[in-house]
Amino acid sequence: SSSSSSSSSTSSLSILSAISATTTHRQQGRRGYAKAAKKGSQSKSKASQGRRGGKSGSGGMGEIKRDPKLDAALDKYLNLLVKAVEPTEIKPQKLTQAQLEEYEAKAKEYSRKKMGQHRAMQKDVNDKIRLKAAACNALPEGFLREHAWTEDRTLFSPKRRMPVATPPIQGYAENKLAADEVAVISNVGLGKR
């Protein structure tokens, strides 16, 4: 319990530090891409030289104009994200020894029943696999046995219908489609059916 809470708080702290680093970088003011690119390799193409204007000191995009409303919205959003990843403190409950023993017995019984369900499901699957293998091996050798052992990987038909509780109403879809077409043609709308 304490290891899981420490790992969740560690991951939360790493997320918070990444968000705060991003926020700090954004709050310090960013320079345009052109000035950042100047520090890297200078492009020798004629198109990029024409964009620079041939002057060595000027050029580029300059400072980014910042919208205070956008900054406020981003700060509000980041604060929401920070609040979302902050771990909530779970206060320990004060339980008596009898309550602890009762809860432990309930947990063990639950685990025992779930494991029984899991084993029953595994036994059912294994029985089906064993019976399928026995049935395939009981077939006469040749094409029939080989065909029984090949997996059927054909896709379901895209026109396959889902099972419903009631039988389909004859002509319902056709009548509905015709009513929709009449409504669209006469600009009445699709409200009445």
39 vs 150, higher pLDDT: 150
34: left (phi over 0), alpha (psi -120 to 50) or beta: alpha
Which residues, other chains included, contact 184 with Cβ-Cβ below 8 Å and sequence gap of 6+?
Answer: 190
At 54 the pLDDT is 47
Residues 100-117: tens digit of each pLDDT? 999 999 999 999 999 999
Tokens representing 168 are 């389909």
When mean pLDDT is compared over 12-21, 60-69, 154-163, the highest value belongs to 154-163
Residue 40 has pLDDT above 80, yes or no: no
Residues 4-38: tens digit of each pLDDT? 445 555 555 566 666 665 555 554 554 454 455 55
Percent of the chain with pLDDT over 70: 64
36: left (phi over 0), alpha (psi -120 to 50) or beta: alpha
pLDDT band at 184; cut points 50, 70, 90:
confident
Residues 76-106: tens digit of each pLDDT? 889 999 988 888 888 888 999 999 999 999 9
Tokens representing 52 are 């620079």
pLDDT band at 182; cut points 50, 70, 90:
confident
Amino acid letter, residue 187: N
What pTM was estimated for this model as a whole?
A: 0.36
